[in-house]
């Protein structure tokens, strides 16, 4: 899907994906919007993942929204949807 990431999420059925990897605009609001848009698309046993947790704005959203997210190395983060 070639579109804005939040707009593209509207085209994907809820709970249809095993994982989503978020690596979009790194502002606080864009990160929050992407997590809120894409998290419902991931199956309960799946993972929400992303990049650049070293950015303060990204880290702030992760700490507020995804308590206990995991650092996978190389600035990649993961969060099991069973805990969302």
* Residue written as token pair 């593209």: 8
Burial class (CB in 10 A: 0-12, 13-18, 19+), 31: buried
pLDDT averaged over the chain?
Answer: 97
pLDDT digits 0-9 by tens, 39-49 = 999 999 999 99
Cross-strand partners of 73: 76
Q: What is the mean pLDDT of residues 34-55?
A: 98
15 CB neighbour count, 10 Å cutoff: 13
State the Cα–Cα distance between residues 76 and 56, nearest whole angstrom: 14
């Amino acid at each position: 899907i070639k579109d804005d990431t939040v707009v593209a999420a509207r085209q994907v059925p809820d709970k249809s994906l095993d994982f989503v990897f978020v690596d979009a605009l790194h502002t606080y609001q864009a990160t929050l919007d992407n997590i809120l848009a894409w998290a419902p698309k991931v199956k309960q046993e799946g993972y929400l993942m992303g990049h650049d947790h070293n950015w303060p704005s990204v880290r702030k959203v992760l700490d507020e929204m995804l308590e206990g997210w995991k650092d996978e190395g190389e600035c990649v983060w993961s969060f099991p949807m069973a805990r969302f």
